[in-house]
Structure 1
């Protein structure tokens, strides 16, 4: 209800826009009396393009109607009688309107709430600016656009007034011209009169004709000036329209498309399409008004031809304004919901296209059909260069035709492709080392419609973001790399689908951080230390200084074509494996700050050396894609856990199983961090059966302790029995030798000494390699 209270305080144009949101499709009285209930419902949880959500929408409709009826019954007394009838009527009206299409009600209310929120936010920003605080850039830009629209409205109204004056003047001129013709006819008929009478009448008529002709001459000059002045005013208005259209289409719409592209990498896509549509509709309305005025000027000129350049001027104006409206219509045919950028054959997918000026130009009166086809990169280049008028396909999409529908509640004209499927794809010859997952396609949407009673016919096309076609899930990882690189580094207005081969490391860091945050659904992204770790991995470097990487560039080949040194996977494949593991199994632990992750083996050992026994940390495996390991001083690294392991037993439960783990680095008790994720104890026996419990252990853990401690004890013993070797000539301890022993003991603590045994145990050999086998699970399930 808080938003409705703020919305009622809007003034001027904002108040007018808010009121325009309501009508018979959703009365403003319903919004007012059910404000609190409406704002408390989860409208955004309903996916409008999913038919399966219709049941959820139907429940919301029924609840809305029931709430209205309840509100009506509460009205009493003389004053409440009319309101009771009105609210009951609205309940019946909404039930009748949306019962067969409840998703439309949800669409309507979502549009209203989002629009109100935008108007309130803009008004808040503006009021802060008047109070002496600087408005943010967005508000300033919106204010600039709205001011320009007001100028255009006034200019259009002025030319309309001047056109009416011209029309009235011309109509009076034609009347006087007809009067002159009548006088001339009377003069011609005087020959039949007697000479005396003829002379008298002739003198009078000639005097009258001279007066009329003089007036006509002056008025013709005045009319010509009116026409030229009006033509100049239209030229100025067209200049303002071009400027405003450039600002909206070449800046605002392009920025919206860029945000949409970055949303493919996990960036925030703030919407704003409804604002853009309102601007485009205002443009369309003003352009159409000016075009109609110019057409009326042409008609007046044809009705009364006068010497001068008016025909050429009006022809030029008509051509210019037709170009302006053509650019507006073709540019506002956009993809509201992009098809998936990694597109698997034989898999259903969806997309939505929208014409931002469709409602204003009444295109919905004869709903156009939209067709979708898939084209290659080369075909897309040819289309944009107008080298190809015929749209050839590089594959076959099923269910690729859809009629645009007009949604009265939101005023949008759109086509929802809900069940498309790519049946087959035709690939081109690949270049060099390029793989199939580097080949880019795009979905082309095209349509044709007319406006103004077939006065103007438009053939519109729009291309989706690049898509990579795969035939198997194993290709998804590499295809995602191609998409991420393209989304992050594509330049506006590029030739399809050129991207730089090299980018600065900080640019890639920004893209990786955006992707990671999106998958974690958290504000906790990659820290500077995490990014340094990734830089070390990407560049095979040992530097811990972030500044060392700021001016370094990374190529596409380094990113996802060449394997990392000593590995059989690329940098991206390793990073994506981490993201997938975290997203599926470890997201809560990352968001809790329990996983350091981006730490190598040596760093982990250095960090743990100064901590008490039982301190452990979690780090991502360097040697395995999508693996995470536990490091602690007793056993430096367990064999990494993967998705397969966590599908059997969770990380929290595995940590709970290991009693040697006491503190999460640096000093957090493990139960304090992980207890809320432990699996509850098993219930009692059911029907006489006891359910077995799965638990992991570190094999021969006691032997490990003995083997680790034995060299140390031996060394200390040797020091005691051979203490004379550490005495100087005066019988005192030799400090230097003593320090050598201390350093030796410290080294023994750091590194297990396998050479102390003539026949090392298999467990000791595993420990020497720095990775103890993944603890098996016991008690009811076969382990690997």
Structure 2
């Protein structure tokens, strides 16, 4: 069922919200008549913050206009005449509106589709179970918030009605008061009349004045009661507003920010910002209405002063509601798109800030400017403690000023910093073993907003997530570790940027799994066996029982400061090397389940020896950062009846940039079954590179790269007219005497790591070897052709 069909079935407030998405900027009729076409276009493929994407957006606009015109031409008959004119008009209108800014059309349609999807999903969640008990906690919270908004709307409407009654009563009171003054003036003028007439008229006027004064006395008490009652009602509304605002800003918005931070570790991309904006706008609207009511009450009190505590009550109410709106404005100035958390100097980066109540409070009528500066951890602490009133900087950011723009289609007020660059950074003195990649900074965004025609002015600031500044790509690995630890274990409301030095092992497992799954772009993350392998590596343990690690803690030093035993790299550096290798070259194979990966050499041997010869598996090298090896079982060529598990020299990312894993496995004919028993072609054939043509091109024969393991190579001469280039790969058995079977001269122990794996840096550089080979002129094999 299309999204539009489901959207049309919405009811009540959800239907009203859906209808509010449309207007002159994008008519609802266009959505209706082009529903299927709109939902099949690749709107998400357009990067809204990238000006170079404007051409793609322009093509989508032209296609939309053409589709509307085509739809209009299809309308026939008397009934279709008006629709034909209307659709043609909409085509011209959209062309005129968005021709110079096609990215705004894409922004508008993406906002509409996302909002419709949210409304439909919320409606589905609300009706699936049939009652509140069956709703998930998210739906229940949203229902509670919406119910409170309805209470606030009714309460605000009630105080508005009461205020009008008060105003009407007070106006009538003033009229009667003027009448009393007029009677008094008449009484004063009776002195000039004859005594008989004066007595008669004086009696009448005195009676009338007594009646009016009695009424004024009673009405003054009534007015005072009205005012006190109204103040009490306003106080109740303000208490409910404050409670609702706390729920939205301190719970929902903080949770959104937490999801945004976890997204930096690969968590689900933070959503729901449009929902938060709709709530904040409702708050702003209600707060402003109540503030205006309180100010009108103050005006009425000044117009007709009466004995009592009204001035103090109204002054307190005014101060309270100003505090509420101040908290709303300052808290809803947020970073929609965070700057990169590993920030390299002299490199362009982007960020987006947004004011969630900007449109509702008409802040865009006087567009504010936002400034970005980078500050240290200590400077951030001082800012939050209000110890620093001006923004000191720890570096220089180019293009750090931006004017906030209002997007009519989405109702958002935001500033898009597209071309910032950190020119320089000033570091602080480091403590103990802390390295430059453990030092945290933050990008501070600050601005000034005026509300209500400069009636209220707010200075606002917001801090980005912690960033680690690097000057060279070699620092990226350690900087990423700092960011991952901070994102995973930061507590809401912390002092910048405190994180625990130790965490439970299962907490770190969750963070590592999140990162791994995100990089693989699939639901296949780390299994319990994988995590046990990682625990064994982190704690230098041999236990295979997951329960043994549940209550263990791992420190930051164990994670990425101290090298693993017998290695020159840390736990994180090894894990990150695996992630980078998989992400760049082996992602499809992991998602296919072809790579076991997290298996040590002894485990691989135990697994393979129970399988037929030719069975192999892929495991990550224990001794090489970002290395993966092939282990397989085969007969010992020097001892009949003995079977050995062989391990190929680990591959790294530079090896796979020359020849893919699938092609390397295809080259090795002695590899038959992927553990436990899958024929290798069944798993890898779809990734094999198609064979090259044997025919010479322009007199040249193109060489082919093939991998061989000499001990397991069966001679297979190339047909006439072909030329091949071979890469030798060394294999070593897990048991026995490796050098007895090698094609290279015997190697000293210094060339073997503690696991017995060969160190690629100390042996043949495959990449350099192949590059030299390909640059070498080939001998001409056809006497009748000249190069």
Deviations 1:409-441 (A, max 9, x none): 000000000000000000000000000000000
Going from structure 1 to structure 2, the CA distance change for 1:696 and 1:207 (only over 3 Å counts) comes to same
1:240-259 equivalent positions in 2, closer than 5 A: 240-259=240-259
Higher helix content, 1 or 2: 1
Q: Secondary structure at the match of 1:497?
A: coil
Note if 1:570 corresponds to 2:581. no
Report how far residue 212 of structure 1 moved.
0.4
Does structure 1 conserve the Cα–Cα contact (< 8 Å) formed by 2:609 and 2:645? Answer: no
Deviations 1:164-216 (A, max 9, x none): 00000000000000000011111111111111111111111111111100000
Does structure 2 conserve the Cα–Cα contact (< 8 Å) formed by 1:663 and 1:670? Answer: yes
Supply the distance in 1 between the matched residues of 2:183 and 2:167 (Cα, whole angstroms).
Answer: 24
Going from structure 1 to structure 2, the CA distance change for 1:430 and 1:743 (only over 3 Å counts) comes to closer
Report how far residue 129 of structure 1 moved.
3.2
Supply the distance in 1 between the matched residues of 2:659 and 2:774 (Cα, whole angstroms).
Answer: 32
1:14-163 equivalent positions in 2, closer than 5 A: 14-130=14-130, 134-163=134-163
Supply the distance in 2 between the matched residues of 1:94 and 1:400 (Cα, whole angstroms).
Answer: 34
Does structure 1 conserve the Cα–Cα contact (< 8 Å) formed by 2:339 and 2:464? Answer: yes
Deviations 1:14-70 (A, max 9, x none): 111110000000000000000010011111111111111111100000000000000
Supply the distance in 2 between the matched residues of 1:576 and 1:107 (Cα, whole angstroms).
Answer: 36
Supply the distance in 1 between the matched residues of 2:75 and 2:759 (Cα, whole angstroms).
Answer: 100
Does structure 1 conserve the Cα–Cα contact (< 8 Å) formed by 2:609 and 2:644? Answer: no
**Is the deviation greater in 194-203 or in 331-340?**
194-203
Report how far residue 726 of structure 1 moved.
43
5+ long unaligned stretches in structure 1? 701-708, 712-723, 758-783
Does structure 1 conserve the Cα–Cα contact (< 8 Å) formed by 2:673 and 2:680? Answer: yes
Give the number of equivalent residue pairs: 738
Does structure 1 conserve the Cα–Cα contact (< 8 Å) formed by 2:649 and 2:760? Answer: no
Going from structure 1 to structure 2, the CA distance change for 1:514 and 1:88 (only over 3 Å counts) comes to same
Supply the distance in 1 between the matched residues of 2:442 and 2:74 (Cα, whole angstroms).
Answer: 57
Q: Secondary structure at the match of 2:409?
A: coil
Supply the distance in 1 between the matched residues of 2:756 and 2:451 (Cα, whole angstroms).
Answer: 110
Does structure 2 conserve the Cα–Cα contact (< 8 Å) formed by 1:613 and 1:634? Answer: no
Supply the distance in 1 between the matched residues of 2:488 and 2:206 (Cα, whole angstroms).
Answer: 83
Which of 682, 691, 696 lines up with 2:702 in the alignment? 691
Deviations 1:735-768 (A, max 9, x none): 99999999999999999999999xxxxxxxxxxx
Does structure 2 conserve the Cα–Cα contact (< 8 Å) formed by 1:617 and 1:630? Answer: yes
Q: Secondary structure at the match of 1:625?
A: coil
Deviations 1:332-380 (A, max 9, x none): 0000000000000000000000000000000000100000000000000
Q: Secondary structure at the match of 2:336?
A: strand
Deviations 1:545-590 (A, max 9, x none): 0000000000000000000000000000000000000000000000
Tell me the C-alpha RMSD between the 2 structures. 9.1
Report how far residue 306 of structure 1 moved.
0.1
Supply the distance in 1 between the matched residues of 2:259 and 2:348 (Cα, whole angstroms).
Answer: 25
Deviations 1:574-620 (A, max 9, x none): 00000000000000000010000001011111111111111111100
Report how far residue 699 of structure 1 moved.
2.6
Deviations 1:137-181 (A, max 9, x none): 111111110000000000000000000000000000000000000
Deviations 1:226-248 (A, max 9, x none): 00000000000001001100100
Deviations 1:487-523 (A, max 9, x none): 0000000000000000000000000000000000010
Supply the distance in 2 between the matched residues of 1:261 and 1:555 (Cα, whole angstroms).
Answer: 21
Going from structure 1 to structure 2, the CA distance change for 1:748 and 1:145 (only over 3 Å counts) comes to closer
5+ long unaligned stretches in structure 2? 633-642, 712-742
Report how far residue 688 of structure 1 moved.
2.8
Q: Secondary structure at the match of 2:630?
A: strand
Does structure 1 conserve the Cα–Cα contact (< 8 Å) formed by 2:650 and 2:760? Answer: no
Deviations 1:684-719 (A, max 9, x none): 42223221110111134xxxxxxxx999xxxxxxxx
Residue 658 of structure 2 is matched in structure 1 by 648
Report how far residue 136 of structure 1 moved.
1.1
Q: Secondary structure at the match of 2:134?
A: coil
Going from structure 1 to structure 2, the CA distance change for 1:270 and 1:743 (only over 3 Å counts) comes to closer
Q: Secondary structure at the match of 2:414?
A: strand
Supply the distance in 1 between the matched residues of 2:767 and 2:97 (Cα, whole angstroms).
Answer: 87
Going from structure 1 to structure 2, the CA distance change for 1:280 and 1:187 (only over 3 Å counts) comes to same
Report how far residue 115 of structure 1 moved.
0.6
Does structure 2 conserve the Cα–Cα contact (< 8 Å) formed by 1:159 and 1:230? Answer: yes
Which of 734, 739, 744 lines up with 1:710 in the alignment? 744
Supply the distance in 2 between the matched residues of 1:736 and 1:379 (Cα, whole angstroms).
Answer: 44
TM-score of the two chains, using structure 1 as the length reference: 0.89
Going from structure 1 to structure 2, the CA distance change for 1:736 and 1:678 (only over 3 Å counts) comes to closer
Report how far residue 123 of structure 1 moved.
1.0
Does structure 2 conserve the Cα–Cα contact (< 8 Å) formed by 1:504 and 1:552? Answer: yes
Does structure 2 conserve the Cα–Cα contact (< 8 Å) formed by 1:448 and 1:459? Answer: yes
Going from structure 1 to structure 2, the CA distance change for 1:736 and 1:143 (only over 3 Å counts) comes to closer
